[in-house]
Chains A and B, each alone.
Chain A
């Protein structure tokens, strides 16, 4: 049986841990609200841009730009995996990494070539362990960026475009976590190149006038769309990360509370037993006289 002093130490150390997890939970809750707002206010731009592109691509004759139509092959894949830079968020990062890993392994099993770009610290190490250094062509970190803007997504988009234009890849897929709700984040794959355009946009029969030409507009819009898609994935990731961290820390706080209750009960029982034992000793000593 542990001594009273040991038990007191253990209780106070669990209490200290609980204070930390509770603080982290509250910080995550505050940041969640902010990043949720950011993700939501970025949504109109992305949806409008998507519908404009859907409209345009429906009208483009022939194959159109390569970013839209692809290279016509699907032999070489580029997988972009976006996670957070920090951990302590339950299974958030590992769920994304697992989804990406399964996808990449099934491609490899089909004899296809896979290259990987990681965004966020938590993607690089586990993927490097599985696929080796040479498959990971680029790694980005978001550390220190408190607010995500287009400028945060631009380097990633530039790298993708560079690799694509050098003819080193055919299909680009982005893995991130879709922010469904505070309690549910779903690891999601989104195909970036060839651009998956939802064609359910209401098709207007009206004759459009374009300045400059349709093709030129599409040429400039598509790279922009790529960046915006990455940004919105990063924003959803961030919101999902804080939501996940919040619930992970909430659990941790509750577990710590349970532990404290259990230890305190045990501590009090032991203390009481000791007092009773001492009393018995005194009384039986007195009776003996």
Chain B
């Protein structure tokens, strides 16, 4: 299965960058999931959790607002504040 290139950046640093299977994010108009080959799409994000799935590995980040930008190259999340959930 094709992989999705995903990066999560906060103003201070880049928290995640790499190829993953799926990313779930909290959009202002509803949560959504992104797989590889998603149509170009941009949305504002609300406070919530970003779940990154790669194989059996799952990483969860808490974010506070930001933007998600889905391009043919991949998904970029610009978070205003992000920390990895313990």
Q: Do A and B come from one complex?
A: yes
Interface residues of chain A, those whose CB is within 8 Å of chain B, are: 38, 41-42, 44-45, 48-49, 52, 55-56, 149-150, 204, 206-212, 216-217, 220-221, 224, 228, 231
A150 to B81 CA separation, bound complex (whole angstroms): 10
Closest CB-CB distance, B48 to chain A, in whole Å? 15
Which of A41, A44, A48, A207 is B40 in contact with, Cβ under 8 Å? Answer: A207
- CB distance B12 to A217 under 8 Å? no
Taking the closest CB of chain A, its distance from the CB of B39, in whole angstroms, is 7
The reply to whether B10 and A45 form a contact with Cβ atoms under 8 Å apart is yes
Q: Is B44 an interface residue (CB 8 A)?
A: yes
CA distance A228 to B12 in the complex (A): 10
Asked whether B22 is an interface residue with its Cβ less than 8 Å from the other chain, the reply is no
Q: Give Cα A221–Cα B14 distance, bound, in whole angstroms.
A: 19
User: B51 an interface residue at 8 Å Cβ cutoff?
Assistant: no
Shortest 10 CB-CB contacts between residues of A and residues of B: A41-B13, A211-B43, A206-B40, A45-B9, A209-B41, A44-B14, A208-B40, A211-B29, A150-B11, A44-B9
Quick one: given A211-B27, A220-B44, are A41 and B7 in contact (CB under 8 Å)? no
Min CB–CB distance A225 → chain B (angstroms): 10
A118 and B78 CA atoms in complex are apart in Å by: 29
CA distance A209 to B38 in the complex (A): 11
A38 and B42 contact, CB distance less than 8 A: no
B72 touches A206 (CB 8 A): yes
Closest to B81 in A: A150
Q: How far is the CA of A225 from the CA of B67 in the complex (A)?
A: 12
Smallest distance from the beta carbon of A101 to chain B beta carbons, Å?
31
The number of residue pairs between A and B whose CB atoms lie closer than 8 Å in the complex comes to 76
A40 to B, closest residue via Cβ: B13
**Secondary structure of the B side of the interface?**
strand
Q: Among A41, A44, A49, A211, which residue has its beta carbon within 8 angstroms of that of B42? A: A211
Residue total for B at the interface (Cβ-Cβ under 8 A): 23
Mask: chain B, 30-61; 1 = CB below 8 Å from A; 0 = not:
00000000011111100000000000000000
B12 contacts which chain A residues (CB < 8 A)?
38, 41-42, 45, 149-150
Check A52–B40 contact: CB distance below 8 A.
no
B14 touches A41 (CB 8 A): yes
For residue A234, give the distance in angstroms from its CB to the closest CB of chain B. Answer: 12
A52:B42 contact, CB within 8 angstroms: yes
A49 to B78, CA, bound (A): 7
B72 CB contacts on chain A under 8 angstroms: 204, 206
- On whether A42 and B13 interact (CB within 8 A), knowing A48-B78, A204-B72, A211-B27, the answer reads yes
Interface contacts beyond A48-B76, A220-B44: sample of 4 additional A-B pairs, CB < 8 Å, sorted by A: A206-B72, A208-B40, A210-B43, A211-B28
Nearest-CB distance from A43 to chain B (Å)? 9
Is the CB–CB distance between B11 and A45 below 8 Å? yes
A residues less than 8 Å from B27 (CB atoms) = 211
Nearest-Cβ distance from residue A168 to partner chain B, whole angstroms? 28
A150 / chain B contacts, CB cutoff of 8 Å: 11-12, 80
Specify which chain B residues have a CB less than 8 angstroms from the CB of A217 in the assembled complex: 42-44, 67
